[in-house]
Amino acid sequence: MKISLNFILIFDILYSYKINKGKTPVAKGNYIKLIFGLKLKQLRQEKNMSLSALATKSNLSISYLNEIESGKKYPKIDKIATLAESLGVTYDKLVSLKLMRNLAPIEELLESNILEQLPLDHYGIDIGKLIGVMSNTSLQLSALISTFIETAKGSEMIQNNFSRTALKTFKEFNDNYFEDLENAAKQFAKKNSLKGLPTIEYKQLKSILEKKYNYVIDESTLNNFSELSELRAVMVKGKKNKLFLNNKLSDQRKAFVVGEELAYNFLDIKDKSFIYSSSRVNSFDQLLNYFKAAYFSTALIINHEFFVLDINKFFNLSKWNEEKFLALIEKYNATPEMFFQRLTNLSAKYLGLNKFFFLRFNYYLGTDKYNLSKEVRLNTRRSPGGYQSSEHYCRRWVSIDTLNKLEKILKKKKTYNGKTAGILHSIFLDTNDEYLCISAAQPSSLINNNIYSVTIGYQVDDTLKQKINFWNDSSVPRKIVNDTCEKCTLTECKERIAPPVAAEKIETSLKIEEAICLLQKSVK
């Protein structure tokens, strides 16, 4: 097979990602500046020399020395030699990247690349100033920094989890609703004569991307490479930008991907990954831009005015109806994830339901491992599970029920591409918090033997009782649930698949504390 230049570029992109493991490479220039600045400050303070005194002795300005110590500038060779002489140390000692013992944790922190993964600039934090503050800490705090680094390495925090948590918090602070992106989607729809439609189909968006933005869309070539079979799409820049779509995608998913590419162009977003997957981004900026494009695409495809009317009509039903709910998803040319994401966008703003959590689970058929891949929590302390948990999520959740239900169907119908849905009134064991949870599941179009579910859990309060008529439908099952089997003290649980070891440890600790209190009282 003849491989075109475009595919050489694709493999170059993938190879680069593999080498860097999805991380932004360490900014060596900044790292060297920061280390040198710390070394200079440390040596100056050891000599009990003020900045003014060093400035006089080296014939360099105080402001210039201050910029060096804060990691903003790196001096030329002649100035380094002058500084070394002024401090009474060798040139080699001054330029060495090794810090003294009390600053060793900072050196390790810089080398670990953790700070590169933190979106500090988005929070107005100057990394140089942060390192400067840390350099003045005590040995105890230095030990704490070392502990933090080791914990980060052990829990894979350096692999973009900081950025994902920051994005999750960003969405929650904004009630998961973004007016600027909603308006941008409306403007785009109006400019392209798409206004007034409840949903937009793939062929319409494809036509706009090809004709207005001069793209070529290839729906066959990507699947000739087994290494790319689980990617949704790859974009390659050229005289004519080329978007390679996975031919396993449904028209719904193709519409979503093309909507994202239109967003990058319409919003003039330059910093982006050319591989269509949120797990294959190299920085917080790319992750944030990926979120913006995905939000824009969903807002464009699912018109909020029609959507809100239909959701309110559905919530006014006196009885839960799975068939009508699944039909509603189909009406909006959406996957369950797109539909539920739109629901989380509009619930607080237009439905008055601002207390909920959203979960996405992935599951490989025939296993007992359920992977929580996405979550959002809005105005509620309850967020079942959590990323990177090594414990077993509660098997009583409706998220798991819908996956199990779909798995049973797939055992009978191997080519089934439909959806399942479910509802559960969940009462959490330890707090008695109540949530009305609606879930839907569907097979993955790209990954063999993989299915996923999405769930929104609305907190049951007076507002919900007014907004959702079927909240107390007698046919809606009620279950006591918990976070994980390991943390759960519920007895006679048929769904339990792991012993309550974490709960037992806590209980043992409490008993020890109680015994110590009794012992102290007996002595008095």
Question: Tell me: the pLDDT tens digits for 15-74?
Answer: 333 333 333 333 445 667 877 888 888 888 888 999 999 999 999 999 999 888 888 888
- Distance (Å, whole) CA 199 – CA 307: 9
Among 88-102, 183-197, 222-236, 491-505, the range scoring the smallest mean pLDDT is 88-102
For the stretch 110-126, pLDDT in tens is: 665 555 555 556 555 56
pLDDT of residue 305: 93
Model-level pTM greater than 0.85? no
Higher pLDDT, 135 or 219: 219
- Average pLDDT of the chain, as a whole number: 83
Query: Which pLDDT value is given to residue 5?
Result: 39
pLDDT of residue 124: 58
- pLDDT tens-digit map of 466-524: 999 999 999 999 999 998 898 888 888 999 999 999 888 988 998 998 999 999 888 86
pLDDT, average across residues 422-434: 92
Residue 140 pLDDT more than 70?
Answer: no
- What tokens were used for 204? 């319409």
pLDDT value for 316: 97
pLDDT tens-digit readout, 372-408: 888 888 888 655 655 556 788 999 999 999 999 999 9
Which H or E run includes 206? helix 202-211
Quick one: pLDDT at residue 375? 86
Contacts 24+ apart (CB under 8 A), 264-269: 264/289, 264/293, 265/213, 266/184, 266/188, 266/296, 267/184, 267/292, 267/293, 267/296, 269/293
Of the chain, the percentage scoring pLDDT greater than 90 comes to 49
- DSSP-derived letter for residue 98 is P
Per residue in 235-270, pLDDT (tens digit) is: 999 889 999 999 999 999 999 999 999 999 999 999
pLDDT at 311: 97
Q: How confident is the model at residue 152 (pLDDT cuts 50, 70, 90)?
A: low
- The pLDDT assigned to 105 comes to 60
Residues whose CB falls within 8 Å of the CB of residue 210, separated by 6 or more in sequence, listed in order: 216, 217
Q: Is the pLDDT of residue 166 over 60?
A: yes
pLDDT digits (tens, 9 = 90+) for 167-178: 887 888 888 999
The token pair at 58 is 């080296």
pLDDT of residue 455: 97
pLDDT at 120: 59
pLDDT at 131: 62
Q: Which amino acid is at 323?
A: E
Q: What percent of the chain has pLDDT over 70?
A: 78
CB within 8 A of 318, min separation 6: which ones? 469, 470, 473
